């Protein structure tokens, strides 16, 4: 389901290639995210789209790309795993941050992007515009990933009927 446009952007690839080469990041490909995508596909989509927006607005697109890729770095099925300390929306950014810190050193902005990407569902307000971008793009990608197969089926039905 992932659009491979990101592979044709050498600057983006250079920013995230070390992360994508890491086995713990690749492991995200083993987990379903929004029914129709893997967590790795979702993370790349969020990262690349956020990177493009940040770059167009002359923001820190490097931190945006890297933290966007690591924002959902957790290894459990969020539909079935429950926590006593709170909801998945509250817990998983902290788990992702802890896991991301095992892969690479993070700037304060990257930490904020990962930790605050569930803003709206949590009360943790982003400190940076880049954090808001990743949070909003994450929401957009979740909706797109869920509805694209449905939209494609409806379009095929309409095409076959017409």
Residue 119 is given by DSSP the state B
Name the pTM for this structure: 0.85
The secondary structure of 32-63 as a DSSP string is BSSSSSBHHHHHHHHHHHHHHHHHHTTS-HHH
* CB of 59 closer than 8 Å to CB of 52: no
* CB of 78 closer than 8 Å to CB of 110: no
Residue 6 is given by DSSP the state G
Token pair belonging to 22: 């890491």
* Residue environment code for 94-115, b if the CB has 16+ CB neighbours within 10 A, otherwise e: ebbbebbeebeebeebbbbbbb
List pLDDT tens digits, range 35-77: 677 899 999 999 999 999 999 999 999 999 999 999 999 887 6
Q: What percent of the chain has pLDDT over 70?
A: 80
Domains of the chain: 4-161 (1.10.3210)
Residue that wins the pLDDT comparison between 32 and 40: 40
List pLDDT tens digits, range 90-123: 678 888 999 999 999 999 999 999 999 888 766 7
- The predicted structure's pLDDT at residue 67: 98
């Amino acid at each position: 389901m992932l659009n491979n446009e990101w592979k044709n952007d050498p600057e983006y690839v250079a920013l995230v290639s070390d992360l994508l080469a890491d086995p713990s990041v690749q492991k995200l490909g083993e987990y379903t995210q929004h029914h129709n995508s893997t967590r790795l596909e979702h993370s790349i989509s969020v990262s690349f789209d956020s990177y493009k927006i940040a770059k167009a607005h002359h923001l820190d697109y490097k931190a945006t790309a890297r933290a966007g890729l690591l924002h959902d770095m957790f290894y459990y099925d969020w539909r079935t795993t429950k926590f006593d300390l709170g909801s998945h929306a509250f817990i998983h950014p902290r788990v992702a941050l802890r896991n991301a810190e095992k892969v690479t050193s993070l700037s304060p902005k990257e930490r904020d992007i990962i930790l605050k990407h569930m803003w709206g569902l949590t009360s943790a307000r982003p400190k940076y515009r880049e954090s808001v971008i990743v949070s909003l793009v994450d929401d957009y990608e979740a909706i797109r990933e869920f509805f694209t197969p449905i939209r494609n089926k409806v379009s095929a039905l309409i095409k076959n009927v017409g």
